[in-house]
Amino acid sequence: MAARITPDSWVDIGLVGKPKGLDGLVWFRSFSADAAVLREGLTLRLTLRNGTVETRTLEAVGEASGKLMVAFAGLEDRTAAEALTGATAAAQRRDFAPLDEGEFYHCDLEGVDVFDAEGARVGAVLRVAAYPSVDALVIETARGEVEVPVVDALVLSLDVAAGRVVIAPEALLSE
């Protein structure tokens, strides 16, 4: 079962791309359409392709040709930048931008308990699957994993702060 995300949790936010130029800049592919978490001074945890984990501080964030690029402190040439290519970058949840009422980050749903309309616990959210047409809660139940599309007819209430999701009975018909 997925553990609840805390402010200290590291959450994957993107991938480090290839170097841009000779001075240590790298392309960055964000997992979110809104890359607002990326800012100068932010510390990221990088998991390199060989499994090594290191932390790096962002020195600069910019854009070129409609794509994100970043500079890490202490990374001053292309050779050093190449070593980071393909690394998964994670930020601490506390560093994410604040949200408006009713909004949530997908990671905040991991580990949230799921109940049916009568109040019986049916499982917990493992993750959110993002599809082009709709997001779906991937719920671990006693009978295995079930995907429930996040639509009003199936997800009756979603309270991240309380750690509670209520789903309609028909949401489990595919179980």
Which overall architecture, per CATH, does domain 106-172 show?
Answer: Roll (2.30)
Question: What does the pLDDT look like over 68-112, one tens digit per residue?
Answer: 999 999 988 899 899 999 999 999 999 998 888 878 888 889 999
**Cα dihedral sign, 21-12-41-103:** positive
Q: 15 or 169: whose pLDDT is higher?
A: 15
Residue tagged 């991938």 (tokens): 15
| Sequence spans of domains, the chain | 10-95, 106-172
Percent of the chain at pLDDT > 90 equals 59
Are the beta carbons of 65 and 48 closer than 8 angstroms?
A: no
- Supply the pTM of this predicted model: 0.77
- The whole-number average pLDDT for the span 52-72 is 92
What pLDDT shows up at residue 174? Answer: 55
What pLDDT shows up at residue 131? Answer: 86
- Residue-wise DSSP of 105-145: -GGGGTT-EEEETTS-EEEEEEEEEE-SS-EEEEEEETTEE
Percent of the chain at pLDDT > 70 equals 96
- The whole-number average pLDDT for the span 24-49 is 89
Question: What does the pLDDT look like over 123-144, one tens digit per residue?
Answer: 999 999 888 899 999 999 988 9
Tell the CATH superfamily of the 10-95 domain.
RimM (2.40.30.60)
- The number of angstroms, rounded, from the C-alpha of 112 to the middle of its chain's C-alpha atoms is 15
What pLDDT shows up at residue 60? Answer: 92
Common-topology check for domains 10-95 and 106-172 = no
pLDDT tier, 2 (very low <50, low <70, confident <90, very high otherwise)? low
Q: 24 or 49: whose pLDDT is higher?
A: 49
Q: 15 or 36: whose pLDDT is higher?
A: 15
What pLDDT shows up at residue 56? Answer: 95
Question: What does the pLDDT look like over 21-35, one tens digit per residue?
Answer: 888 899 999 887 777
Q: 114 or 174: whose pLDDT is higher?
A: 114
Mean pLDDT (the chain) is 89
